Each structure stands twice: as structure tokens, then as C-alpha cells.
Amino acid sequence: MTDASTTKRNAALQGAAFSFAARLQQRVAGVDEVGRGPLAGPVAAGAVILPSPLPEELAGLDDSKKLSPAKRERLEPLIKQHALAWAVASAGVAEIESLNILKATHLAMRRALACLSQRPLGALVDGNSDPGLGIETLCVVGGDALHPSISAASILAKMARDRWMRELDALYPGYGFAAHKGYGGSAAHRDAILALGPSPVHRPSFLRNILAQGSRP
């Protein structure tokens, strides 16, 4: 896809998201997940209802992956301060293993929406898979960079999950959870799994290739 076609596609998706929110009188929750890919820890989901117009303090909202840790830390309390409602929920390792990661992600999203202090009329969900929230839903691919309520949900979920992983690092030292947050891109993390064995918060179905490599002579 060329840069021009990507820009055109994003503009169309962004327009659809804002039109959806306007039709429902802005009573729309942005919903996003963090932590589908890691080898360890829960998958988290955030749900946020933002006021309209958006407060100037939240002008820097974007996909949490594109923001520096310092910007996420600055925005988290501002989102909580200005949001009409916000919540973060999760699905644990046992649920990820029993359901699969997609269904567990949808479960975390439903939990987050259920925890909101007010019921939205609709939801803007990052991605292309409807989580079955029980309300009118628009799925927006790349939505965490296109609509502020999804961006806000992404940031809150990211900040919460990072804290949980630091807590797990204290419970299960040696794996480096505080540094890599459970992701598998770190050679040190993979080496620790082979040396120490999986921890209780590792996802067994995500470790098959690593453990198979470690068992080879």
C-alpha cells in the first residue's frame, strides 16, 4: 500500500469513527487492548469515554506504542481527570490458555466496558474483530492512532499492564519482567525461560517453540 493510499484509508477510517461518535451524541467508549503478544502476563483492556470537545490537555493523545514512557506517564492522570468514565480490566494466563488469546482479549474488553461508571451508547474498538460488547460497535483498524478515545484506552491499558508486570517481576525474579514486560523479543528473556523453566505467569502455548529449541541436543 502506498503512502497516499494509506493516508486516504486512514482519513476514511477516522471520518467514520468521528461520524459514529457524533451520531451517538459522543456517548461512545473507546476500547483497546495491550498485551496480546507477550510470552507472559495478562492481556489488558481499557475503556474510556471522553468529553466533547476534547480538553486541550489531551491534545497529545496517540497510540500508546508511539508515545514515550514519559508522555504516557504525563497523559495517564490527565485522561483519568478529564474522562467522563474510564476503566481497565484484564484476562489472566489461565483464561488465555483455556480460551485462546483472541477470546481472552475480547473478555478483557467486555470486563473493562462493564466496569465503566456510565453506560455508553456505542463503542469504538481498535482492530477488526468485534468483541461482543452488547452495544453498537464500530471496529477501526489502527484506531488507537485515529480517535482520541481509543488512544486514551490504549494508554491506560498500557500503563496498568506495565505496573502489573513490574509487580510480577518482584514475585518471579530472574525473568526481567520489569524491563521487557513479558515480551519475547529479548534474548535474555528466552534464555531465562530455558535456564529457570517457565514461571506460573508464562503462557504455555506461547512457549512451545522456545522450549522445543531448548530441548534439542
Q: Is the pLDDT of residue 216 over 60?
A: no
Task: Assign 157 a pLDDT band (cuts: 50, 70, 90).
Answer: very high
The total number of residues shown for the chain amounts to: 217
Q: Is the pLDDT of residue 25 over 80?
A: no
Q: Is the pLDDT of residue 124 over 80?
A: yes
User: What's the whole-number mean pLDDT along residues 181-209?
Assistant: 94
User: For the chain, what is the domain count?
Assistant: 1
Task: Assign 198 a pLDDT band (cuts: 50, 70, 90).
Answer: very high
Predicted confidence (pLDDT) per residue in 26-63, tens digit: 899 999 999 999 999 999 999 999 998 999 999 889 88
Classify 121 in phi/psi space as left (phi over 0), alpha (psi -120 to 50) or beta.
alpha
On whether residue 180 sits in a domain, the answer given is: no
On whether residue 212 sits in a domain, the answer given is: no
On whether residue 172 sits in a domain, the answer given is: no
* Cα 71 from Cα 115, distance rounded (Å): 26
Question: 3-class secondary structure for the chain?
Answer: CCHHHHHHHHHHHHHHHHHHHHHCCCCEEEEEEECCCCCECCEEEEEEECCCCCCHHHCCCCCHHHCCHHHHHHHHHHHHHHCCEEEEEEECHHHHHHHCHHHHHHHHHHHHHHCCCCCCCEEEEECCCCCCCCCEEEEECCHHHCCHHHHHHHHHHHHHHHHHHHHHHHHCCCCCHHHHCCCCCCHHHHHHHHHHCCCCCECHHHCHHHHHHHCCC
Predicted confidence (pLDDT) per residue in 64-117, tens digit: 889 999 999 999 999 999 999 999 999 999 999 999 999 999 999 999 999 999
User: What's the whole-number mean pLDDT along residues 109-128?
Assistant: 96
On whether residue 74 sits in a domain, the answer given is: yes
State residue 215's pLDDT score.
56
C-alpha triplet 87, 154, 51: angle, nearest 5°? 60
State residue 164's pLDDT score.
98
State residue 203's pLDDT score.
97
What CATH number does residue 64 fall under? 3.30.420.10
State residue 83's pLDDT score.
97
Residue linked to cell 475480547: 106
Q: Is the pLDDT of residue 1 over 60?
A: no
* Average confidence score pLDDT of the chain: 93
State residue 214's pLDDT score.
61
β-pairing, 28-34 vs 122-126, is parallel
% of the chain at pLDDT higher than 70: 97
On whether residue 63 sits in a domain, the answer given is: yes
On whether residue 86 sits in a domain, the answer given is: yes
* Cα 52 from Cα 139, distance rounded (Å): 20
State residue 111's pLDDT score.
98
Phi/psi at 55 (nearest 5 deg)? -60, 145
On whether residue 24 sits in a domain, the answer given is: yes
Could you tell me the residue range of the domain that residue 80 belongs to? 3-164
